[in-house]
Chains A and B, each alone.
Chain A
Amino acid sequence: MWQVPHGDTPDGVRNNAALKGLNIPKTGQGGSVGLLVTKTVVVVGDPQVTTTPDHPRGAMLRAYDKTTGKEVGALLMPAPQSGSPMTYSVNGTQYIVVAVSGGNYSGEYIAYRLPADAR
């Protein structure tokens, strides 16, 4: 139905001297990461660390529109996703929890929720 590159272009490609001057589109990243599907979106994190002009060293957790593949949200995590995200609800507030680790960042779980004014 749809197919999109997932993940920023790796630093090793983006900063490669041999590719200087070429306009490299977003390549996505190699890696094996699990994903979470809800009623409306697909949530999945980048498998690799990048440092780009848009964000400091880290990896993005992204949400794609389930019907079109369009990215509808992204936030920076300190390390790449290392397990599948999952979601749960407490007192009417929905959370997404994701395991991250990679490089020198030891494994941990991070739980996200929408800010109060957006719920």
Chain B
Amino acid sequence: MIESKILKSDESCILNPKSETLNWTANLSMATSNLKSRISDLRCRTRPISKFLLFGILFLLGLAIFTYAQDAPRTVWDGVYNEEQAQRGRAVFLDQCSNCHGRDLEGADMTPALTGGAFMANWDGLTLGDLADRIRVSMPLNSPGTLSRQQTVDVVAFILRFDQFPAGKEELPREVPALKQILFKARP
């Protein structure tokens, strides 16, 4: 009588691929009592269901966060630099960049402007990480790589202020991965 009950419980476990360990528990209990077999029978039916639910909830939560992140990336319109940083950037710009790019960022024959339609169009859809990288790798033309990371992002902040993107409370971060999360958009 006891054995037949245990066998029945074993079958239900075998049919469920997620319950090998419980199946093993049921086998061990064969010689003892049908109480244990009842417990394992119960566990073998209920555990896979709760696991499924847990994964389902985690998946939906992940999907919601992912969707939110996709829908709302930060852009240069979200006040991503502050006034103090732009002031520091202005000093670096006037010292290191304005000879070629002009005091009003207007550019010259062979030097691109850092304001106006062409600048906006050429950077639209890229990130501040791309802009900082470009400066860091190639500027100033006569001695690339001599600006510190801090000076580089300060210059980016100054360019943003000059181009009338709104200032905020926080400074632009120095780290390129963080800067790559901020989208340059010509329009809000």
The residues of A with any CB-CB pair to B shorter than 8 Å are 10-12, 15-17, 29-32, 47-51, 57, 79-80, 82-83, 102-104, 106
Since A32-B109, A47-B118 are in contact, a sample of 10 more A-B pairs with Cβ atoms closer than 8 Å, ordered by chain A residue number, is A30-B116, A48-B117, A48-B121, A49-B121, A49-B122, A103-B122, A103-B126, A104-B133, A106-B134, A106-B137
Kindly state whether residue B145 has any CB partner on chain A within 8 Å.
no
Q: Please, how many angstroms separate the alpha-carbon atoms of A17 and B185 in the complex? A: 14
Residues of A contacting B112 with CB < 8 Å? 82, 102
Q: Which bucket holds chain B's interface residue count?
A: 20 to 34
A57 and B133 in contact, given A30-B116, A102-B112 (Cβ under 8 angstroms): no
Q: In the complex, what's the smallest C-beta–C-beta distance from B125 to chain A, in angstroms?
A: 7
A106 and B138 in contact, given A12-B186, A15-B187 (Cβ under 8 angstroms): yes
Residues of A contacting B125 with CB < 8 Å? 51, 57
Grouping DSSP codes into helix (H, G, I), strand (E, B) and loop, the A interface class, with mixed when no group exceeds half, is loop
Q: Please, how many angstroms separate the alpha-carbon atoms of A80 and B119 in the complex? A: 11
Residues of A contacting B131 with CB < 8 Å? 104
Q: In the complex, what's the smallest C-beta–C-beta distance from B6 to chain A, in angstroms?
A: 66
Kindly state whether residue B130 has any CB partner on chain A within 8 Å.
yes
Q: In the complex, what's the smallest C-beta–C-beta distance from B166 to chain A, in angstroms?
A: 18
Which one of B109, B116, B121, B138 lies within 8 Å of A11 (CB-CB)?
B121
A29 and B124 in contact, given A16-B187, A103-B130, A106-B134 (Cβ under 8 angstroms): no
Residues of A contacting B118 with CB < 8 Å? 29-31, 47-48, 80, 102
